[in-house]
């Protein structure tokens, strides 16, 4: 069972999905949250960083703009995504 419990939400149980979509809502990639992604975590890459890297792997070098909420916003991730788009 991979339901997530969030006590402060009105609907406390649910399934969390991470999706990479374009402006027309076409989905490029989807992943289901099954707990912290420990297998892709390194000293220089957090679980959140690994999630974004995994979702955006198919769209590298395509000159897309990436928009995300504050949960995914941190400088190391921005540097990594920027480096992959210019190389």
Residue range 39-87, pLDDT digits in tens: 767 777 777 778 888 888 877 777 777 777 777 777 888 788 777 666 5
- Measured over the CA atoms of residue 55, residue 27, residue 34 and residue 7, the dihedral's sign is positive
pTM, entire model: 0.66
Alpha helix segments (H runs only) across the chain: 47-56, 75-86
- As a whole number of angstroms, the distance between CA 15 and CA 19 comes to 13
Q: In degrees rounded to 5, what are phi and psi of residue 53? A: -60, -40
Residue range 8-43, pLDDT digits in tens: 878 888 888 888 888 888 888 888 877 766 676 777
Query: How many C-beta atoms surround the C-beta of residue 52 within 10 A?
Result: 20
- As a whole number of angstroms, the distance between CA 54 and CA 58 comes to 8
pLDDT of residue 81: 74
């Amino acid at each position: 069972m991979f339901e997530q419990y969030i006590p402060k939400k009105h609907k406390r149980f649910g399934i969390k999905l991470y999706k990479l979509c374009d402006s027309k809502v076409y989905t490029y990639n989807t992943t289901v949250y099954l707990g912290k992604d420990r297998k892709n975590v390194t000293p220089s890459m957090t679980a959140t960083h690994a999630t974004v890297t995994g979702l955006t792997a198919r769209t590298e070098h395509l000159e897309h703009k990436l928009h995300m909420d504050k949960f995914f916003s941190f400088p190391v991730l921005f540097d990594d995504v920027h480096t992959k788009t210019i190389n």
